[in-house]
Structure 1
């Protein structure tokens, strides 16, 4: 415990002077010492011996923020005013949303257009797929016709060769069999041609398939004629005219092959065009999908921007300041309100750097505002010294549940220590006339002179090292008129703890 002897000497000297004066005055009223005297007393308590009473600071909101719109526009409505309490998420103000609503509508239209483009591209892909399938069927039909033409060419060539050589009985029998086979083949193809014709008339097969079966039917009919001619030649012997006819059939068969090959080439080209169309449609779909995704992003952005025309409170607190009026044009980022949390307040105390080691985060601090006292706690000790004052700022947070303290008010602060306590009494309660200092305790309505041992002077109070205990009542007003044993009427002194 540090001794503050200069302060004690000063206090004791004042007490001596006061006592000397009181001795002169009380000599004239010696005969009235047994009268009941009215005095003011204080109850002795254990208090911190490290209290610091010369610190003060200005109350501030525990947390404060400037709120502003993230977009510009004309203020349509301000819902709160200075001093109003607000909750987190509460609407504070609104901008005219007309322009931003139009942007949202345009974005919605772009989304619909992109969706339509996707559907159109998908339809084109479907059409191209159908074209590829039709071309594949044409290629297959043309290849079948080429194969049939090759067969006819071989058959007619064989007939012509036989015609030129003459026929044997075995060859004549084979020729008859060829006629029968050609007729059977013609009959079968004729039935297929009738069926495909009916399907074609109903639109169930393509024109290429219809033309292909008609060509096969014509070729089958020619095969019958060729087979019959070959048989006739074998039986009757070929004339020059007949040889010419067979030669003509051979040329016709070769022409049919060329026609089938040309049809195949056309079908292949058609397939290539269909594949190219499909690729183009697929690319168009990719572009449409990309446009759709961009349109969705644009829509989200415009909807988000529209939502920013409503300003909501980021915290629960009180409106400390308002910067705008209804109808005013503001830019993005312009200050609209200043909000602060006042259910708790904070104060920065300028602690001399030589005393900062006695301060710890979490310590209790007594804050006094007029006749009100609240207890706060040290929440932060700043890491640097103020170059102008040589002090270090200590932040103290104090509850303000009743909202009866306000930012801007100046409070006095005393640090409360729980490990260095003692009995403190007001300096005016201690009397010294050159002997050992004493106080008057009030015991059962009587003034009892009690000698005490004093220590250091703290905040205009003397530390009583011995002579008093917690709970004793000592006279703090009117002691100069008392004698030991006087009857007293005591009133309790009001103290700010």
Structure 2
């Protein structure tokens, strides 16, 4: 007999012993003529056998999280009190974000500045490309001029120059003859002064044209001078220098573009960092849970990593039960455990059995997980637990139905309206204030479950059914 059953039976024995102090024979004789005693009865039935260890433990959140800001600063908001239910992703606290917003604005401005630098570098590249093309054209022209100066005039050019001289000579001869003829007419009064002046001017102009044509022909016939060669060569060198300068400008524009692109990428990284820093001024809940502890208040100055809140996920709870080492063999992982809180009963599941025994208490911690979808059980509450260790059935009756006055325990059967004293043998099982009967009763018999303490063998009784014992 275990301690719990012994305690129940001892308590009932004392109360029944006091109630049964009168002489059994006399009371039985009187009882036969007295009115039937009203008692509550029940039919004996088979029920599952459990072992009640009367264990207790404190509920804990299945998962707990300590929340902290990754950046330091002044707490702008942290008003949620302990016990508040929070949803995953909800904002629990904020830091003063003025500095972080300023950093983001500066990073955005740096991006715009870098973009302008890229556009400017691209424009410089286009200018340099145009300058290179122009320099190439200049080089071609200068080289052609050098070649022309070096080779001198071609025969065709000389012939054209001679033809120009001949033509100019003919034009001059005619203009001179016309001027002399009109001069004679003017002196004879047959031509006007204007006609005479025009003829003279035409002759003068034709003479100038003739002289220019002769000079050009003379240059072609004589060839380029040393000064012409030097000038052509100098122009060619200038053209080469112009291209070198244009190429250098192109390389500089490429370097500027590369630097501008690097500045742009750097500005993008800075903006990303500023956005991340700004997002970290909000403290978000990682799970659906309840606030278990709060460490700061609005206006406090906090450091990076300093604890702000501790929250727990309570859709599921867990409890550590201290099971005696001698009984741990009856506990298995995955086994169901009945747990009770304020008369509300639930089924938990053994999720872990710790691999060591406490040297102080001689117990082994057994972790039991309990579903809590309504979140109406809370961390910190104390529950009681019992474990079912067998799937066998047996007879269980209320402890108050068993009478033990020091001799063998007995119960009263209800047989045709009379209380019949029946010795019974108790087993080791105690389930919810019910005792196991291993002999003396059979399933289907009716027994007195309330009022047995005032009965004697053979007393008439009036049964009031009470359902299952």
TM-score (normalised: structure 1): 0.72
CA RMSD in angstroms comes to: 4.0
Specify every segment of 5 or more residues in structure 1 that has no aligned partner in the other structure, as ranges. Answer: 156-174, 187-221, 230-244
Matched, 1:332 2:337: no
State the distance in 2 between where 1:404 and 1:494 align.
31
State the distance in 2 between where 1:380 and 1:436 align.
43
State the distance in 2 between where 1:347 and 1:184 align.
123
Spell out, residue by residue over 1:285-318, the C-alpha distance to the aligned partner (whole angstroms, 9 max, x if none).
2112111111111111111111222222222122
Corresponding residue for 1:386?
358
State the distance in 2 between where 1:280 and 1:294 align.
21
TM-score (normalised: structure 2): 0.76
Identify if the C-alpha distance between structure 1 residues 371 and 225 changes in structure 2 by more than 3 Å, giving closer, same or farther.
same
Identify if the C-alpha distance between structure 1 residues 396 and 184 changes in structure 2 by more than 3 Å, giving closer, same or farther.
farther
Counting only pairs closer than 5 Å after superposition, residues 12-27 of structure 1 correspond to structure 2 as 22=20, 24-27=22-25
Contact 2:55/2:385 (8 A) holds in 1: yes
State the distance in 2 between where 1:10 and 1:102 align.
74
State the distance in 1 between where 2:454 and 2:163 align.
155
What's the CA shift for 1:87? 0.9
State the distance in 1 between where 2:24 and 2:274 align.
91
Corresponding residue for 2:84?
84
Corresponding residue for 2:242?
270
Counting only pairs closer than 5 Å after superposition, residues 450-489 of structure 1 correspond to structure 2 as 452-458=424-430, 461-466=434-439, 468=441, 474-482=447-455, 483-484=457-458, 486-489=460-463
Identify if the C-alpha distance between structure 1 residues 338 and 135 changes in structure 2 by more than 3 Å, giving closer, same or farther.
same
State the distance in 2 between where 1:454 and 1:37 align.
27
Matched, 1:368 2:340: yes
Identify if the C-alpha distance between structure 1 residues 484 and 296 changes in structure 2 by more than 3 Å, giving closer, same or farther.
farther
State how many pairs are aligned: 420
Contact 1:452/1:465 (8 A) holds in 2: yes
Identify if the C-alpha distance between structure 1 residues 183 and 75 changes in structure 2 by more than 3 Å, giving closer, same or farther.
farther
| 1:29 maps to which of 22, 27, 30 | 27
Identify if the C-alpha distance between structure 1 residues 476 and 284 changes in structure 2 by more than 3 Å, giving closer, same or farther.
same
Spell out, residue by residue over 1:84-129, the C-alpha distance to the aligned partner (whole angstroms, 9 max, x if none).
2211111212222111111111111221221222222222212211
What's the CA shift for 1:457? 4.6
Corresponding residue for 2:100?
100
State the distance in 2 between where 1:471 and 1:143 align.
130
Matched, 1:74 2:47: no
Identify if the C-alpha distance between structure 1 residues 436 and 325 changes in structure 2 by more than 3 Å, giving closer, same or farther.
closer
Corresponding residue for 1:197?
none
State the distance in 1 between where 2:59 and 2:5 align.
34
More deviation in 432-441 or 81-90?
432-441
State the distance in 2 between where 1:17 and 1:11 align.
10
